[in-house]
Amino acid sequence: MKLFLNKASPYARLVMVVIHEKQLIDRVELNWTDPWASTPALLAVNPVAKVPALMTDGGESIVDSACICAYLDDVGSGRRLHAAAGDVGSLSKYGLGRGLIDAAFGVTIERRFAAAQSEPVLAKRWLDAVQRTIAELEKTPALRRATDQPDIGDLALAVALGYVGFRLQEVDWQRKAPATATWFSRIDARPSMRLTRPE
Ligand SMILES: N[C@@H](CCC(=O)N[C@@H](CS)C(=O)NCC(=O)O)C(=O)O
């Protein structure tokens, strides 16, 4: 398999975490790619010009981190990470984790590209979403139940929170959400998280 990714992308990081959790690292060739450069190699796999994008051994491309994670869960080994039918709790966490990644990434991109001097409207909106989501995590213990067997929802939330700490330091989320920070630090100590720190 070939994975197109970059080092800062939280979407690509979630895919890498799943690759490690499913013991697939030796089966994946990593293609470090700047999606904004829209290279022909990336466009050949993903016309949307985004990372992550996966080319399977059979030559089929799978784009979007959620779809790639679902595929890797099927072809990897070990414990299943995606929710069993009817596991609403896992889907709740997964959706919230993905939403938090979207919001934090949206703020980062809006800030990078907006021409205006003042705080851009979209960045303000998405920053509010980041803060609301972290407050929700903090007041909902069921979303951060201690576990040494994290599922895809736990991993997505942890990656999202790692990205907020990496790109939106002014949010200072660990001080505002101490219970969530304690939960996060346990998951963040896993090899899959340590091996995929954003830079
Ligand atoms: N929904 C996609 C989002 C992927 C995404 O937005 N990736 C960013 C990098 S973090 C990207 O490639 N952006 C380039 C662009 O938006 O044109 C996923 O889950 O994989």
Domain that holds residue 113: 88-191
For residues 99 and 71, state if they share a domain.
Answer: no
Looking at this protein, which amino acid is placed at residue 181? A
Residue closest by Cα to atom 3 of ligand 1? 64
For 138-171, the pLDDT digits (tens) are 999 998 887 789 999 899 899 999 999 999 999 9
Taking the CB of residue 93, how many other CB atoms lie within 10 A of it? 26
Total tally of structural domains belonging to the chain: 2
The last residue of a domain, from among 49, 75, 101: 75
Determine if ligand 1 sits within 6 Å of the CB of residue 163. no
Residue 124 confidence class, pLDDT cut points 50, 70, 90: confident
For residues 71 and 154, state if they share a domain.
Answer: no
For residues 71 and 97, state if they share a domain.
Answer: no
Residue 50 CA, ligand 1 centroid: distance in Å: 4
pTM for the structure as a whole: 0.85
The last residue of a domain, from among 32, 54, 75: 75
Residue 70 CA, ligand 1 centroid: distance in Å: 17
Residue 34 CA, ligand 1 centroid: distance in Å: 11
* Spatial distance between the Cα atoms of 91 and 75, rounded to a whole number of angstroms: 21
For 78-118, the pLDDT digits (tens) are 999 998 888 999 999 999 999 999 999 998 988 887 765 55
The last residue of a domain, from among 22, 49, 75: 75
For 1-60, the pLDDT digits (tens) are 999 999 999 999 999 999 999 999 999 999 999 998 889 999 899 888 899 999 999 999
- Residue 24 belongs to a domain with what CATH number? 3.40.30.10
- The pLDDT value recorded for residue 43 is 87
- The pLDDT value recorded for residue 139 is 93
111 domain-assigned: yes
Q: Which tokens in the block code for residue 49?
A: 């010009």
